[in-house]
Amino acid sequence: RSARRTCAWSTSARHMLKRDAAARVQSMRHVQVIRWSVALVVLAYGLIKVGVLGQQFVYDWQEVTFRRDDPTPFTMIWYFFGYSRAYGTFIALCEIIPAVMLLLPRTRTLGALGVFAVMLNVTVMDWAFGMPLPATLLATGLMLASAYLLWLDRYRLARLVK
């Protein structure tokens, strides 16, 4: 009788372990989707800033003298960042490098930390200066997603701090 119980328990335990393993794999998949999505969007924004995938900032400061009739915060921010091509490139590299690090297993935690810092800055600027709502929500979502990735890697991050 105890052999049957042991056999039944071990069958049940194996089933639970298989189910837990399947749940972990599914959980890892959603984390990978989030990690890759955040990394690719931030990477695309960085590449746009350096001109590989288009152009984001206005790099013609002379044009600002002719556009004083449109002194919206959105326009002023774009001209501010576009005033110096070197600064625009710096911002782009601050997006590109952590995004690539986020894709590599050894550097994913530091990449998530870098993306979080960059996206926190972008989110605060977007909300403070009244950027278009879709862009603001995208920045906020990327920041929250990178915070979630940091939360998942909190023990690994704690080891880095020690």
Kindly report, residue by residue over 104-151, the tens digit of the pLDDT: 999 999 999 999 999 999 999 999 888 889 999 999 999 999 999 999
Q: Is the dihedral of CA 103, 106, 26, 141 positive or negative?
A: negative
pLDDT tops 70 at residue 12: no
Identify whether the C-beta of residue 104 lies closer than 8 Å to the C-beta of residue 91. Answer: no
Give me the pLDDT at residue 22, please: 52
Give me the pLDDT at residue 124, please: 95
pTM: 0.76
Query: Which 8-state DSSP code applies to residue 153?
Result: T
